[in-house]
Amino acid sequence: MGKEGFQDCELCESPGGEVVWESDLCRVVMVNDPDYPGFCRIILHRHLREMTDLPPHERMQLMNVLFAVESAIRTLYQPDKINLASLGNMTPHVHWHLIPRWRDDRHFPQPVWATPQRVHAPHRSSVDPRQLGDQIIAALRTR
C-alpha cells in the first residue's frame, strides 16, 4: 500500500478495512457496517484505475478471489442476494464491493447507497473475521 506514491488515494494509503485475507495481488477487507454484516471489499494492492489495466492472468486471479469471497459470504451469512459493485468514481483504484443483501435490510430493494427504505433492519449475527478468511481459503482451494 502506498508503495507507488499515489497521493490522495485512500486505498493506497490505508488497508480500507479489517484485512481478513490477502495475497501478493490483493487483499480482502471487512467493512464495518452493522446493517450489512459480511460486507467486504477486494482491493488491488497496486494503484490501477480499471480492470483492463491488469494483465489478463491477473484479471482472472482477481475474479477467482471475488468468486471465493462471494462463496464464503453465502456460506457464512446466507443472504438473499449478493451485490457486486466496482465503481471507483470517488476512489479510482481497482476494488470490488461484495455486499450481502436481505429482503428486509434497510435499503432493499435499492442499492445500499440509496435512500433507506426502512429505519431499522433486523439484527443479524456477525461472524468472526477469521471464519471468513478460512472460508475464503477453502473456496479458493476448490477453484
Q: Model confidence at 6, in pLDDT bands (50, 70, 90)?
A: low
Say if residue 5's pLDDT is above 70.
no
The residue range of the domain holding 26 is: 10-103+125-141
According to the model, what pLDDT value does residue 67 have?
95
Is residue 22 assigned to a domain? Answer: yes
Mean pLDDT of the chain: 89
113 domain-assigned: no
3-class secondary-structure state, position 128: coil
Per DSSP, 140 falls in state: H
Helix H or strand E segment including 59: helix 56-77
Q: Picking from 32-46, 54-68, 71-85, 109-123, which range would have the lowest pLDDT averaged per residue?
A: 109-123
- 42 lies in a domain? yes
Its pTM surpasses 0.85: yes
Residue 140's pLDDT band (boundaries 50, 70, 90)?
confident
Distance CA 23, CA 106 (A): 33
Q: How many domains does the chain have?
A: 1
Q: What is the pLDDT of residue 123?
A: 76
d(C-alpha 4, C-alpha 116), whole Å = 38
